[in-house]
Amino acid sequence: MLEVDKNTFEEEVLKASGYVFVDFFGDGCVPCVALMPFVHSLADKYEGKLKFTSLNTTKARRLAIGQKILGLPVMAIYKDGQKVEELVKDDATEESIQKMVEKYVALNQ
């Protein structure tokens, strides 16, 4: 799992070719912290099949707002620099995150 910041987000996500998973989280976000071990386990399971990144929005507020991240947690999929799907707040459950990841892993074959 690659941790990106305001300096590396453009290069690692927006300029990347193919699918990129981004876990948008914040320092005070309890659901984010609860989901983190699960998301990291998916990153380990699908390593090499999908690029996994995470962004701490507490340290990159302008970037988060620019990506229309207005509530947390947000799990998003980008393809060739464009956001193609996201799960926001209550929709970001372990089950829905796993389904979304598996969908894009299959498309990325």
Active-site choice (4, 13, 32, 42):
32
Based on the residue annotation, tell me whether 100 is a catalytic residue of this protein.
no
User: C-alpha dihedral over 60, 29, 40, 17, to 10 degrees?
Assistant: -30
Active-site choice (13, 20, 22, 29):
29
Based on the residue annotation, tell me whether 32 is a catalytic residue of this protein.
yes
Structure letter (DSSP) for residue 57: G
What is the rounded distance in angstroms from the CA atom of residue 58 to the CA atom of residue 63?
10
The catalytic site residues sit at 29, 32
